[in-house]
Each structure stands twice: as C-alpha cells, then as structure tokens.
Structure 1
Amino acid sequence: MEPTHGRFTGRVALVTGAGTGIGAAVCRRIVAEGGNVVLTGRRPQPLHDLATELGARALALPGDAAVTGDAQRIIKSTVEQFGRLDVVVANAGGHHPGAAADTDDDAWSYSLHANLNSAFVTIREALPSLIEAGGNVVVVSSIAGLFAGPGVVGYVTTKHALIGLMRSLARDYGHQGVRVNAVCPGWVRTAMADEQMDELGKQYGIDREAAYSLVTKNQPLRRPAESEEIANLVAFLASPEASAMTGSVVVADCGANCVDLPTIAFAEGAAQ
C-alpha cells in the first residue's frame, strides 16, 4: 500500500496478534504512514518474517499478551527501543467452537485468555506510557461482540466483553488524554476465516470461495472484507484524525448488521 500521508510519523504502535491477518495488515499500514511498530504474538516465526519485511521501523517481540510478565517485558522493550508508546492495537484472539453445554472449563478459559485477557492485560500494563504520550487504544472486537452466532459461546461472550472493556477504559482514562475505541469486523478473509470456510465447505460439498459466498449472500455487499480494509479503519481511529472519538464502536461487516433477519424470506422470494 502506498502511504497517503504521514499520520504516524514519530509515533509508536504495539500490535498484538500481529503475525498474520488483520494484525499484520495494521502493521503494514502504520509503517507505510511513517510509524514504528512493535509486533507481538505467541508464534515467533510470523512475527520475525513480517518485521524483516517491514524493516528498521518494526520490532518483533514474541510473547503472550494475556500474561502480565510478557506484557511488561514487551512494553519495557518498546520504550527502550523507540522511546515512547502511543498506540496499542489489541487484536490478539482465538476461536473455540461450542455451545454452553459443550464447553468445558478448559475451552471457556481459552476464550477468556485469548480474547479478553490478552486485551485487558496488555492495555493495563501500557496505560502509564499511553497517559504520558496522550495515546490511544483500538480494540479489535467482532460483530460477534454485537450479535450471537451459533455454537460459539466463548467467542461471543468475550467479544461482547471487549466492548465493555473499551467503554470502561474510555470512561476512566479520557480525562488523562487517552482515547479508546473498538472495531467490529464481520467476515474477513484471513487464515482463521479460511479454515472456517473449509470446514463449512466440507458440510456443503463446496470449495472455499463458494463457502465465502454462502456466508455473505445476505450481506448488502455480498463479500467478506479484506484485512487491509479493517486496517484502514484501525489506522484512522489510532490517528490524530479521530481525535474527537472515544468510546466508539465502528462496525465493518459489509453491511451485515443492517439486515433485518425476519425479512430475508421476502427478498429471497422476490428473487425467484
């Protein structure tokens, strides 16, 4: 992506879950606009590969964003390397299928750890630096934070909780100059979504692209978003251009949230 302007020149962003998908796209966008990025996540190789691609303004620091010691080490190294921390993009997460009766304690704990604790712990440890810099946080939730999909109680619950976390942080730290907002993507073409499409494809005897078409057929744009499209929104919220925004939820789902489910049958009938 060609840089539009240097909205992040001289600024430093920490991105969790940075190795692939939305996190990687956010890192590319911030560097393209003059910023420095610290990439963290639990899988070292994708982080190091992306940091090598991005060059001297990117630093890979593997770790678990939900573990206090890891978060403290990563933030300390960030400030030592770049002198400051302006932005945290809380993007780390994970998906574990199961309705409530099918979700044991380990599966429930996984969802809390991967989706909620990863954001809370990292943001909590970053707050002193963000207050000093007058910085901001972008939390990557999901439309699963607004609505409930079938058989994913841990994911739905923790993605809802991220919005509550965002609002609480915005309420408590706005007077100290820290902004906090959330992005709620719908289907995005990522490695994790590809895996889900492959599983759905097996059920219907269709390929991945047909599965994406199936899950988006009732969305106005009739397609999944691309990681770069979500990165555009994250970059806007993290930039000075969004200086009046805090406590906001921005939905990027190709229109899925505006569809009135009980009226779908009328549209399908009219198309026949």
Structure 2
Amino acid sequence: MDLELTGKTALVTGASRGIGLAVARALTDEGVRVVGAARSITPELEKASVAAVSADLGTAEGVETAVRTALDELGGIDILVNNVGGGDADRMRLGGFQDITDEQWRNMLDLNLFSAVRATRAALPSLLERRGAIVNVSSINAHLPGPGPTGYSEAKAALTALGKRLSEEFGPRGVRVNTVSPGVVGTPLWRDPRGFGAKVAEAAGVSHETLLANIAEQFGAASGRISEPEEVAAVIAFLASPRAANIVGSDYVIDGGTLKTA
C-alpha cells in the first residue's frame, strides 16, 4: 500500500535504536525526509535519516535543539513522532512506591511525558501550518500498571491522556494526534544484556536468557510472542499518513493480546 508520504518531513525522537530507529527506517522507506533525535547517535540512525541530532530529550534544552534542527534541516515538520521514553537502566531503581526517590520520579516524567509536551509545543506552529500529524508512543502500562520502575506507568498514562487532549484541541484545526501503546517489544531495553530486562531478570533471580525465553508467557500474550520494533513502526507510519486521515484521538494497542479488556 502506498501511504502517500513521499516528500513529507518528520521528526522522530528517541530514534537511535528500538522502536524509534524502526520508525525512522519505515518513514524513510516511504519517501519521508526524517530527522532523528537521540542522546547518542548511531550509524544506523545516520543511515535512516537526513540528519541525526544528539540531544538529551529529558531536558527542555535538548528538545529545543531537536525541534530547531528539524525545522532548519527540513524547512517544516509534517509529522512528529514522540517516541523517546523508558529510562536509563543505570539510573532506574526497581522497587515499590516507598523505595523510589523524587529524582527517579522527575526523570521518568521528564523523559516519558514532558519530552512530548515540549516537542509538541515547539513543533505545533509548523504542524498547524502543514495540517500535520502527531503520534505519541505510550505503553500498555498506561492501562495496566505492571512490574517495572515506579513512575513509568504513571508517566505513560499522562502521555496517553495528553494525546486525547491534543486531539480535541487541534483536530478541528487539521492536526491529527494519535497514540500507539505497545506491550513488550524486542528492543535493546529488553534484549541488551546491560539493559532494563537484565535488571528485571536479576531481581527475579533468573538468567537474562530465561527471562527472554518466557517473557511472552509471563505477560500473558495470547499470540505466544512479543512484538518486534518493525511491527510497531508499521502502525505508526500508517497513522502518520494521509491513509489514516480520519483517525483522530485513537490509542492503538500492540501487545499480542496481553491486555484482556476492551
């Protein structure tokens, strides 16, 4: 299917690996000129974009740099994918509510919520002019708080609510806002031996390999497997395209059937 995206422009945050990199590749393959922003620039991102911006997207300054660079490089933004999220595995502490410091709460909210707030605010003038599209990458944890760092589910729930608010305010003005909520995805967050998945395995007293082998079952995925970044990216590319012209304010769950409620 031709998504009618040739010649469009996009800013993708958190684009150096995982879902963000898959989105940058998918959009580029559809003829979109992509600027990818991430704290660390990888050769893969440089190949999948017309420009790669090194920026700490958990800060106002980093987001400002990313959006300004995208506007300078592209001349305007048709598509904004607010993908950056998760957190730095070295700084995340697993534990209950009373175990978590204000610093972790701030880090979670800055990266998973305020990065999208700031990027959207900065890109909106161009998006309004071009009648563009925003796709926010949330999580099923917005609907089903589960094991993981305290603050993550709460920040993603706020991000999902933000998408609804933005769609109500700016949908009538031509900017479509939608949300994609993945379950467990086979990204470095889970598969990297130094990533968050390894910390979860250690806390559970099992090997990282054992955790990955059983993760779909542990999360109750009806499909029997976790999703891959390219599968999530395909949905995001569609939602950003004119083919989804009347999809506004929706939240698409991609979790292999983990969530058991409508």
Q: TM-score, normalised by structure 1?
A: 0.86
Alignment of 1:43-54 (within 5 A): 43=40, 45-46=41-42, 49-54=43-48
Q: What is the Cα deviation at residue 207 of structure 1?
A: 4.6
Deviations 1:118-157 (A, max 9, x none): 1110111111010001001000000011111135320010
For structure 2, list consecutive stretches of 5 or more residues without a partner in the other structure.
none
Q: What is the Cα deviation at residue 83 of structure 1?
A: 1.8
Task: Name the structure with the higher helix share.
Answer: 1
Q: Is 2:113–2:158's contact at 8 Å kept on the other side of the alignment?
A: yes
- Tell whether 2:14 aligns with 1:17: yes
Q: Is 2:15–2:45's contact at 8 Å kept on the other side of the alignment?
A: no
Q: Is 1:189–1:227's contact at 8 Å kept on the other side of the alignment?
A: yes
Equivalent of residue 173 in structure 1, options 170, 174, 190? 170
The count of corresponding residues between Structure 1 and Structure 2 is: 251
Residue identity matched to 1:158: A
Q: What is the Cα deviation at residue 79 of structure 1?
A: 2.4
- Tell whether 2:71 aligns with 1:79: yes
Distance across 2 between alignment mates of 1:66 and 1:130: 22
Distance across 1 between alignment mates of 2:67 and 2:110: 19
Residue identity matched to 2:221: Q
Q: Is 1:144–1:159's contact at 8 Å kept on the other side of the alignment?
A: yes
Alignment of 1:134-153 (within 5 A): 134-150=131-147, 152-153=149-150
For structure 1, list consecutive stretches of 5 or more residues without a partner in the other structure.
261-272
1:211 corresponding residue in structure 2: 211
Q: Is 2:60–2:115's contact at 8 Å kept on the other side of the alignment?
A: no
Q: Are the structure 2 counterparts of residues 79 and 205 from structure 1 closer, same or farther at C-alpha, using a change threshold of 3 Å?
A: closer
Distance across 2 between alignment mates of 1:81 and 1:246: 28
Q: TM-score, normalised by structure 2?
A: 0.89
Indicate the structure (1 or 2) with the bigger Cα radius of gyration: 1
Q: Is 1:212–1:223's contact at 8 Å kept on the other side of the alignment?
A: no
* Fraction of identical pairs, as percent: 35
Q: Is 2:21–2:45's contact at 8 Å kept on the other side of the alignment?
A: no
- Tell whether 2:188 aligns with 1:191: yes
2:130 corresponding residue in structure 1: 133
